[in-house]
Amino acid sequence: GHNTIVIDGRNQDPDAPAPIIAFASDKQNAHAVIDASRAYQPGARQLLRGIALLNRQDVLVQDEISLLHSGQATWSMHTRAAVSISSQDGRTATLRLGGKTLIARLLSPAGARFQAAPAKAPAPQAQQPDVTVLFIALHITGPTRIAVLLSPGKAMTPPRLEPLEKWSRK
């Protein structure tokens, strides 16, 4: 399975270059930003992914997507953990495995919700009945930011989201 963005049902080109365009690390935090735009041709104008390690514990995954035409985008994460999604607003998912807990919080876009489904690999790939896909499905009509905060144990206070262009450049 792909733990990334899928546009209109198509995975990214694994052979396309995806340069690191920003990177920083200090005692508290670290982050990197990749430009995956060429991996999503011909449909993407730009697709950037930023990963930030906050307080050396929590992980922010932030994707910024701009398509040439409106389309479907799916953010996904495969896991063997038991997944439960908050019935209140669908913006918080709790993953439990081996006595450990991970909280996933959907910070952006407004109105989006987590969903979960069994992972189903296309034939002839082996099936993994113990794997669940936690995903966000969106219809994109303009520039879109997807931001998910992953926190072990308990949810941290969400950070203020900044455009990836403001994350330090390499």
Give 15's contacts (C-beta < 8 A, 6+ positions apart): none
The proportion of the chain whose per-residue pLDDT surpasses 70, expressed as a percent, equals 98
- Give the tens place of pLDDT for each residue, 135-165: 999 999 999 999 999 999 877 789 999 999 9
The letter for the amino acid at 67 is L
- Give the tens place of pLDDT for each residue, 87-106: 889 999 999 999 999 999 99
Distances in Å between the Cα of 112 and the Cα atoms of 30, 54, 91, 164 are 27, 23, 7, 20
Is the pLDDT assigned to residue 129 strictly greater than 90? no
Whether the bond into 42 is cis, omega within 30 of 0:
yes
Ramachandran category for residue 42: left, alpha or beta (phi over 0 → left; psi -120 to 50 → alpha): alpha
pLDDT score for 124: 78
What predicted TM-score, i.e. pTM, was given to this entire model?
A: 0.93
Over range 119-127, report the average pLDDT: 79
Mean pLDDT is lowest, of 76-90, 103-117, 120-134, for: 120-134
pLDDT score for 170: 54
